Chains A and B, each alone.
Chain A
Amino acid sequence: MLLSALLYLAAAVFLIGMGWRVFNWLRTPVPLKIVLTPGPKTSSGVAGRLAGEILVFRSLFKADRSLWVPAWLFHVSLALLFVGHLGGLVIPKFAEATLSMNESQFENLAQNAGSVVGVVAIVAVLWLFIRRLASERPRKISTFSDYFSPVLLLLIIGTGNHMRFLGGLDIVEARQFVWGWLTLSPTAPPANPVFAAHIILVSALLIYIPFSKLVHIGGATLFSPTLNQPNNTRDRRYAGSWSAGPATAKAK
């Protein structure tokens, strides 16, 4: 019960916190067009630019390939782990039907794919963590948060991998727990200390995200005015928020 309660608290902090942060970004005006050029002139072009940044980290690729590799692998494996948890724990029947697999085929896939992605994820986090510690410039700019986040993720992925590779988790019980939690009728968690640790760490992460640099998962690139504006000031007047004006605002 305590685990469920903690997870409810974490989810609430996460949703309200992120909602507040995103709301704040969106309500803050963009007085001038500051798009980086050459930039796309049309909104479909802008969509392409943003997709390139979000899906393949285009700018980071230009900046530093040796950073791009672990960074991209890390984010992709986290996304896959999220999808995997959703498919395996929340909607296994639906996932089986969608993939036209029977139960054992699906279990098989989940085992194998989960194992590969779990390993890639932990290697990528370690890689990023070591890079931060080992090279002069990243070490110089790092704050406590820059070490805390990867350590937390290492522990979360580590406990996950522990359950996958060393067994001990009853998947049916885990599904029951997740469903009970989601439908607001919480049941007892599987009697497995690693599972409990996993849930506690995930709760910590959820609570941490809105108050740290991890807030970037809320759509940082999407709202970034150097990237999300079309380069068309001379085709169409950009009124921005200028009519309300910094000059006017200053007077108050």
Chain B
Amino acid sequence: MKAPLLNPNATAGVHAHRAKKELLEPLGLPAELPTNWREMALNKFGELLRQRRSLSLYLDICVRCGACADKCPFFLGTGDPNNMPVARAELLRKVYRRYFTAAGRLADGWAGRLVAAEELNDAVLDQWFTYFYQCSECRRCAVFCPFGVDTAELTMAAREIMASIGVAPKYTSEVIKKVYDVGNNLGIPAAAWTDTCQFLEEELKEQTGKDIKIPVNQEGAEVLLVPPSADAFANTDTMMGYAKFFHAAGVSWTTSTYASEAGNFGLFFNYDQLQKVNRRIVDAARQLKVKRLVMGECGHAWRAAQAFMDTMNGPLDFLEKPCPEHILEFVVRFLRAGKLKLNKAANDGITVTYHDPCNLARAGGLMEEPREVLRAVVNDFREMPADTIREKTFCCGAGGGLLTEELMTTRMAGAKPRIEAFRTTGATHLATACAICKAQFPVAFQHHKVNAQVVGIMDLLGKALVI
């Protein structure tokens, strides 16, 4: 997509709703902005600088070459200069210079401007809360940076600093609290989860005439499947797809009501919540005495699991395979062994293309498996342009905790580059493996006037499986 002309302050007025006392307190955060907030924020900043090389190094070394500037979907969609990754980083960097570098500490007034240092004040805090919630931590900029500077790391740090003074978005805080209260992002209580699984079993019986189970809390099953909770409610074809696959593969499996959520909004909040949310999955796997831990179709869940789980809450040596696996890796293994009977024609009459969720591609390395499954179950599969897929994929526009109503302006703008790439294929269906993408695209299709449907990979597999 061609880079837009700069449109200063285009989305300066798009803010996330702030979390209030009843959400902040349970997460261990100040209920309102403390009077000494600046001192607290700078202390937190200093602490993170000592703890994370990604933060100190990436604040130091950027040369502002601008290679990243036209790579961000939010800049491409909005034209707001602060959405250029380098400019977004400068919002943090100017404060870093002022308080944590020799030049910035010495320089004041005009000299401060000379070294591009700026004080942390209300206006800067407001800028941070605005623009660090117009970044989806998708890491596309990092792929093109000569130093691998990863804006997601800076966004995460800025959000963590803000959270430490009680400046956090309502949406993410709410979701995390629901996970602690009932076990998943949607806030579905255990009884409702069990009911839904039973309902879907009946649905499967109607579809196939077979008794296909969606087990709940079944101790001693071989596999604990952790799907995004949306699969049980919004994307039920994906849920039934898992069930059909495990049935056809003859593998015993279970879901858990304690860890009925693959997603981890802690990744969009702070390390503390990231670790705690992640811990629930490990605990569930241990309690249910399963041999394998398999993650469902969710992008950032895969990052939190495959890259961080073992480090944060491991070792996972109680599992037969001591690391998380992805459902699509699992499927590919059975596919290659010739153990799945497929009828591709069941998916005829549609044209499918694949949208790589950012975290599967750039933070999980899962790019071949989805394609291998799609090619096995669909006759008409097409790729989008090469500079918009695999590790160069565009974010759907709603990752990183942005999937909320009040950010609709930036969400729709952020989806634009992906939608334009999609249009070139003439596909009728956009297949993807992420619950956030699946929630975002139907809205974005409508907004950008595209007549197409969103579908999970397991949905298409489920249709093609001969049971």
Interface, chain A (partner B; CB < 8 A): 21, 24-25, 28-34, 36-39, 53, 57, 59-60, 62-64, 67, 71, 136-138, 140-146, 211-213, 215-216, 220-221, 223-227, 231, 233-234, 237-242, 246-247, 249-250
Contacts and interface: CB of A to CB of B under 8 A. Distances in A.
B456 interface: no
Nearest to A212: B103
A225 B86 CA distance: 18
A246 B144 contact: no
A31 B55 CA distance: 11
A33 B57 contact: no
Contact of A226 (B6, B68, B150): B150
B87 interface: yes
Q: Which of B3, B64, B367 has most A Cβ within 10 Å?
A: B64
Interface in B32-79: 47, 49-54, 56-58, 60-71
A137 B57 contact: no
Contact of B87 (A140, A227, A238): A140
Interface string B194-233: 0000000000000000000000000000000000000000
Contacts of A25: 53, 56-57, 60
B228 to A, nearest CB: 20
A139 B315 CA distance: 49
Interface in B424-439: none
Given A34-B307, A211-B101, A140 B6 contact: yes
B116 A28 contact: no
Interface residues of B, number: 69
B19 interface: no
A37 B63 CA distance: 24
B12 interface: no
A213 to B, nearest CB: 5
B271 A246 contact: yes
Contacts of B455: none
B379 interface: no
Given A231-B365, A237-B310, A216 B47 contact: no
Contact of B84 (A33, A137, A215, A221): A137
B391 A223 contact: no
Contacts of B310: 233-234, 237-238
A36 B275 contact: no
B391 A36 contact: yes
Contacts of A223: 53, 57
A220 B113 CA distance: 25
B115 A144 contact: yes
Contacts of A240: 311
A221 B66 contact: no
Nearest to B308: A32
Contact of B5 (A33, A39, A71, A136): A136
A71 B65 contact: yes
Nearest to A146: B64
Interface in B109-135: 113-116
Given A34-B307, A63-B144, A233-B310, 6 more contacts: A32-B307, A36-B143, A67-B65, A67-B66, A146-B63, A215-B61
A226 B3 contact: no
Contacts of B60: 21, 25, 213, 215-216, 220
15 contacts: A28-B49, A32-B308, A36-B148, A63-B68, A136-B5, A137-B3, A137-B6, A213-B64, A220-B147, A225-B148, A226-B139, A226-B148, A233-B306, A246-B275, A247-B272
Nearest to B366: A37
B148 A62 contact: no
Which 5 pairs between the two chains have the least Cβ-Cβ distance?
A37-B365, A63-B144, A226-B148, A63-B67, A143-B116
A237 B306 contact: no
Nearest to B52: A31
Nearest to A30: B53
A213 B116 CA distance: 12
A48 to B, nearest CB: 15
A60 B307 contact: no
B54 A30 contact: yes
Interface string B328-361: 0000000000000000000000000000000001
B197 to A, nearest CB: 29
B323 interface: yes
B57 A138 contact: no
B373 interface: no
Nearest to A222: B147
A141 B147 contact: no
B149 interface: yes
A231 to B, nearest CB: 6
Contacts of A220: 57, 60-61, 147
Nearest to B145: A59
A133 to B, nearest CB: 12
B403 interface: no
A138 B87 CA distance: 10
Contacts of A32: 307-308, 311-312
B142 A36 contact: yes
Contacts of A215: 60-61
Nearest to A227: B148
A141 B90 contact: yes
Contacts of B53: 25, 28-30, 223, 225
Interface in B161-201: none
B311 A221 contact: no
Contacts of A239: 311
A212 B60 CA distance: 8
A71 B364 CA distance: 31
Contacts of A59: 67, 143-146, 148
Interface string B271-309: 110010000000000000000000000000000001110
A30 B57 CA distance: 11
Contact of B362 (A37, A212, A233): A37
